[in-house]
Amino acid sequence: MSASLIQANPKIILEVNNLRMHFPIVKGFLRRTIGHVKAVDNVNLFVQKGETLGLVGESGCGKTTTGRCIIRAYTPTSGEILYRTPDDKIVDLAKLKSEGDLRPYRRDIRMIFQDPYSSLNPRMTLLQIVGDPIMANHVASGKELEDRVAMLLKRVGLRPEYMRRYPHAFSGGERQRIGIARALALNPRVVIADESVSALDVSVRAQILNLLQDLQQEFGLTYLFVAHDLSVVEYICDRVAVMYVGKLVELADTETLYMRPLHPYTEALLSAVPKPDPRLRNRGNRIIPEGEVADPAKPPSGCYFHPRCRFAKERCSIEEPALRDLGNNHFVACHFAGELTLRGVLDKKVVA
C-alpha cells in the first residue's frame, strides 16, 4: 500500500500503515526478554468515512490487538495510525505519547467491548457508567448530564428510568446496549466494535446488529467491526479485511471477497463456515487446511500460511508475500494471487 492514501483521498478517515505490535516474552527472575509475540505484524488498511470495515480472522490473528492499537489502548511498537480530524487535519495517533495529547482523539474514536459482563463496572449505576465519559471530559454535569444520559439510553432502546439501576439487573443484550450508549456518549466519529455480538444469544444478535446499523445511519458513524463470525460480517460490513497470525492477507469489498476470494486462507475460511441449509451440505468437498493455526511467537518462515496451503510452492517458504493491489481496491498478500482458481461462497440463497 502506498504511503498516505489518506492525504490524497478525502473520503478516508482512518489509515493504518505498517502497524506492528510486538509483546515481549519475559522469563526468569531477572525478567529477561527472550522473544516476542508478533501479535500484529505489518498491517496496512484504511477505512472510509461512513463505512463499516470488517476485520476477521481466527484466534491469535491479531484482529483485537489491531483494534486496540488504533484506539490507543496499547502503544504500537511501530507504524502509523493516521486519522483525519473534523477540521480536516491528519494526525498520526501512534506518535502521541501522553494521555493529554491523546485526550481529544479519545472522544472521536470509541470502543464497544465483547464481554457484556466485564465491560460494565458492576458497582456503578447506568447513570454513572454512561455518564463517566461525559463527566471525565467535563462536557456536562448535574441535570444536563442526566438529560444526556437519558437521551442516550433512549437511543439504544432502553428506558431512561433505568439509569438508577445497576448492571446486574440486565441481560446480556441489554448490557451490550449500555455499552453502546457509553460509546456514543461523546458523539464519536469512529466506533470500533470488538466482537460486540459474539457473546450474545442468536436472537439478540439481530437486535444489536440492527441497532448498530440504525445508529450508523443516524449519526454518520464509521465502524471497524472486529469479528470471527463470517456470516455476521457479511451482513453488516461494506469491506472486509482478513488477518492471519498478525498479518493482513486480504482486503476487499464484501461481495467480492465472499464470491471471489483471492487468498487461499480466505477460501478455506469461507469454506469452513457452516451454511444454515441442510441442502447445501458440502461435506466431502470442504477445503480444510491441514494442521493448526500457527503460533504468533514462532511463526513459519516466508508466508505464514504456507505449511497449510494447498497451493504452496517453494517460494512461499522463503519469501514473505507483500500486500498488493490487484485492482478495484482488492488487496491480497499471496505470491500467486490472481493465478489461482479459488471457490467463494455458493450462489444459492436460502428462502426461510
Q: How far apart are CA 146 and CA 134, in angstroms?
A: 10
Retrieve residue 16's grid coordinates.
Answer: 493504518
Query: Quick one: which of 5, 90, 91, 273 contacts another protein (CB under 8 A)?
Result: 273
Q: Give the whole-angstrom CA distance, residue 131 versus residue 163.
A: 10
Residue 44 vs 162, nearer CB to another protein: 162
Among 95, 313, 315, 348, binds another protein (CB under 8 A): 348
67 within 8 A of 251, measured Cβ to Cβ:
no
Residue type, 200: L
Q: Does 218 bind another protein (CB under 8 A)?
A: no
Which of 341, 346, 269 lies closest to 305 in space, CA to CA? Answer: 269
Beta bridge partners of 27: 32
Measured between its terminal Cα atoms, the distance across the chain in Å is 42
Q: How far is CA 156 from the centre of its chain?
A: 21
Q: DSSP character for 311? A: T
Choose between 42 and 254: whose C-beta lies nearer to another protein: 254
R_g of the chain computed on alpha carbons: 21
> Taking CB under 8 A as the rule, does residue 31 contact another protein?
yes
CB of 3 to another protein, least distance (A): 28
346 near another protein, judged by CB under 8 A: yes
List 90, 96, 145, 206, residue binding another protein (CB under 8 A): 206
Binder among 258, 304, 305, 331 for another protein (CB under 8 A): 258
Q: How far is the CB of 157 from another protein (least distance, A)?
A: 5
| Residue 27 phi, psi dihedral angles, 5° rounding | -135, 155
Binding mask 175-194 for another protein (x = CB under 8 A): --x----x------------
Among 27, 95, 164, 310, binds another protein (CB under 8 A): 164
List the one residue from 115, 140, 260, 340 that touches another protein (CB under 8 A). Answer: 115
Q: Among residues 11, 32, 95, 281, which is the contact residue for another protein, using CB under 8 A?
A: 281
Angle 192-164-190 (CA atoms, 0-180°, nearest 5)? 15
Q: How far is the CB of 253 from another protein (least distance, A)?
A: 9
The residue within the footprint of another protein, chosen from 101, 201, 218, 319 (CB under 8 A), is: 201
**The only residue of 149, 158, 316, 333 in contact with another protein, by rule CB under 8 A:** 158
Q: Among residue numbers 134 through 153, which ones bind another protein (CB under 8 A)?
A: 136-137
Q: Does 209 bind another protein (CB under 8 A)?
A: yes
Residue type, 240: V
Residue-level length of the chain: 352
Residues in 68-87 at the binding interface with another protein, rule: CB under 8 A: 71, 73
Taking the complex as a whole, the smallest distance from the CB of residue 275 to another protein amounts, in Å, to 6
249-260 as b/e, with b when 16 or more CB fall inside 10 Å? bbbbebebbbee
Our finding on whether 260 is near another protein (CB under 8 A) is no
- The count of other CB atoms within 10 Å of the CB of residue 24 is 13
